[in-house]
Structure 1
Amino acid sequence: MSTVETVGRTWLREHTTLRLGGPARRFAVAETTDELVAIVRKLDEAGEPVLLVGGGSNLVVGDEGFDGTVVRIATGGWSDDFTTVAAGQDWDAYVGATVEAGLGGLECLSGIPGRAGATPIQNVGAYGCEISQVLESIELYDRAAREVRTVTAAELGFAYRTSVLKGTDSGVVLSVRFRLAGDGLSAPVRYAELARRLGAHVGARVPASEAREAVLALRRGKGMVLDAGDHDTWSAGSFFTNPIVAEPDVPNVLARITDVVGADAAVPTYPADGGVKLSAAWLIERAGFAKGHPGPGGRVSLSTKHTLALTNRGGATTADLLALARQVRDGVFERFGVELRPEPLLVNCAL
């Protein structure tokens, strides 16, 4: 296996942005793509449970840890034309490099923590841009077939914050290939808040560097850019996805929300496949959970900057975090009849 394999207690809290999670039974680091494939293949042959970890920004690991081998994907770098990036590459560093090279398309995804290989799995998105809009293909190690193959965007079954890879362990993303614009301009600005920040109209294309700086500023204001000294960033980002209400249910759901908050309140809605998307943050706030709302013992809380992030204030456990998540989820459901679903991957724990 890997020469850097360790046996003994490696705490997952050291490898997640929440700084939570118990010990792993074994731990290995893959620094090249060939090594990553070899490690996973050997573990699969041995019937060993495997947990793949990149930046740990979308993981909630139980306090009991993981009874198997954690493989940290530490591959890095990108192609000379910037279009293909290794799975273990720090995402924001790669986005910054594409913008600096005069390429557009990824700028609205600036500041998102984690590694490049995770972006297609959950169809990462922010400020009106989703990975599905710019992804061309991925290189994947198919664990069942035990072979490396190319998978196109069309085969990934992208939808809101998901793909056919999410929630499965069928494949290991090795690299990602994107379509990037060479004119130095951003993708069309689709998000009203970002357009206002830029002083542009929705649909405009602006210098990619300006869009990146605007996105980073907006994210910092919400505690969504990692900062070791800021407990608001000790999170997994947005903990809940924006709920999508199926078209037949929209009138009844909106009527119930309006009945609770008042007819004068404008309920934010957005188009979605097969229905309407609601704002999870808006629902959370109007269910009585303000920014900074504390969980057990004040060891966890909603971010003081953004109600959609659940944060570790120091000394927390995963059980503390999940207790707060249940309180918020159940409070929203009781008030509005809308179910919130977690966005991060839950490992050896559940809501």
Structure 2
Amino acid sequence: MSELLSHHTTFHLGGPAAEFVTATTEEQIIQAVTAADAAGTDVLVLGGGSNLVVADAGFAGTVVKLATTGVTPVPADDGAMLVTVAAGETWDDFVATAVDKGWSGIEALSGIPGSVGATPIQNVGAYGQDVSQTITSVKVFDRQLRGPRTFTAEECRFGYRWSRFKAEPDRHVVLEVTFRLGTDGATGSPIAYAQLAGALGVGQGTRVPSKQIREAVLALRRSKGMVIDEADHDTWSAGSFFTNPVVAPEDVPDGAPAYPQPDGTVKTSAAWLIDHAGFTKGHGNSRVALSTKHTLALTNRGDGTTEDLLALAREVRDGVEAAYGIVLVNEPVMLGVEL
């Protein structure tokens, strides 16, 4: 029987894969992808499935599930720690390891589901930290050149939820990621995000031990239903479904949050736009709905389908555009479907 992709996505949605391969080594990843490419078969490289919307009809190609493991630290000359992590490692397990060992720089990214290999693709970020701030290099298998290749952080062309890997989604398979982390976990990183500073009871810019930052972030994410809990349907989601839009200053609605960007544009809040366009927490039906904890998360209430989810996403997107003239862009990757 074909493997259902609903068993491998945090939405618990998605039909069967024509072929499903679990790869525990880099060689197995490269072999599976190369064989599929040679046969002219479509390939889906699957990590934690936390940023993926899969068609109800499933995927007619080969799914390569990344199950590689390994965390290798090497001290740098300046006292930092260079940590190379296999793409198949669970991201939050790695963050927990870093915090336990006193490595700093990724603690505000606690509780984010998915695999390490997925983080550079969309430059994962939260609470004032992005992985681009600590990534030094990304090793990939280049499906066009048919061989391994390593990109420096600069060559990754990181932007807001963006990278060269997202720009060329079918070309590179991430094999491992190297991070440059501080070794000052006892003093931690300066708090850059106002909500996190408030939760910790400190001012922005204050240095706080990494363990305290992780605990505060996990508490904040749980309050929004963004820490995976199989018993809580608010977490049957992809986290934030829409990215925060970046617009011209004059296009920010009155009263909406506004975060000026270096290029003169302004980033505003997708959650604010959704809520003020009339889509409140829990909006939807018994199959799919906005989270009861956070308007930015679309959720499967247990009996939903991908088509149900897309209908809700379109309703929200179109409603925000009608109210404010701003078109929200989905953050999850769409497989076999379009928003």
- Amino acid across the alignment from 1:60: V
Partner of 1:35: 28
Deviation of 1:272 (Å):
2.5
Q: Do 2:117 and 2:174's aligned partners in 1 also have CA atoms closer than 8 Å?
A: yes
Deviation of 1:204 (Å):
1.5
Indicate whether 1:286 and 2:276 are aligned.
Answer: yes
| CA distance in 2: counterparts of 1:47 and 1:66, whole angstroms | 14
- Amino acid across the alignment from 2:272: W
Partner of 2:128: 128
- Amino acid across the alignment from 2:200: L
Pick from 216, 237, 260 the counterpart of residue 271 of structure 1: 260
Deviation of 1:273 (Å):
4.6
TM-score, normalization by structure 1: 0.92
Pick from 2, 21, 27 the counterpart of residue 9 of structure 1: 2
Deviation of 1:141 (Å):
0.7
Q: Do 2:189 and 2:209's aligned partners in 1 also have CA atoms closer than 8 Å?
A: no
% of aligned pairs identical?
Answer: 56
- SS at the partner of 2:40? coil
- Amino acid across the alignment from 2:180: R
- SS at the partner of 2:166? coil
- Amino acid across the alignment from 1:268: P
Partner of 1:4: none
Deviation of 1:13 (Å):
0.4
Indicate whether 1:154 and 2:154 are aligned.
Answer: yes
Deviations 1:249-284 (A, max 9, x none): x21x23xx33xxxxxxx3211122531101000000
Partner of 1:337: 325
| CA distance in 1: counterparts of 2:152 and 2:181, whole angstroms | 16
Deviation of 1:11 (Å):
0.8
Pick from 197, 210, 213 the counterpart of residue 212 of structure 2: 210
Indicate whether 1:66 and 2:67 are aligned.
Answer: no
| CA distance in 2: counterparts of 1:337 and 1:12, whole angstroms | 35
Deviation of 1:115 (Å):
0.1
Matching of residues 69-88 of structure 1 within 5 Å? 69-81=62-74, 83-88=83-88
Pick from 14, 17, 25 the counterpart of residue 18 of structure 2: 25
| CA distance in 2: counterparts of 1:242 and 1:80, whole angstroms | 34
- Amino acid across the alignment from 1:146: R
| CA distance in 2: counterparts of 1:111 and 1:272, whole angstroms | 26
Deviations 1:116-162 (A, max 9, x none): 00000000000011111111001111111111111011011111111
| CA distance in 2: counterparts of 1:319 and 1:341, whole angstroms | 18
Q: Do 2:111 and 2:226's aligned partners in 1 also have CA atoms closer than 8 Å?
A: yes
| CA distance in 2: counterparts of 1:53 and 1:327, whole angstroms | 28
Partner of 1:310: 298
Partner of 1:3: none
Deviation of 1:186 (Å):
2.5
Indicate whether 1:196 and 2:184 are aligned.
Answer: no
Aligned Cα root-mean-square deviation (Å): 1.1
Deviations 1:52-72 (A, max 9, x none): 111000000011111111110
| CA distance in 1: counterparts of 2:198 and 2:267, whole angstroms | 22
Q: Could you list the runs of 4 or more consecutive aligned residues of structure 1 that deviate by over 3 angstroms after TM superposition? A: none
| CA distance in 1: counterparts of 2:190 and 2:330, whole angstroms | 29
Deviation of 1:77 (Å):
2.0
| CA distance in 2: counterparts of 1:200 and 1:100, whole angstroms | 22
Q: Do 2:142 and 2:171's aligned partners in 1 also have CA atoms closer than 8 Å?
A: yes
Partner of 2:175: 174
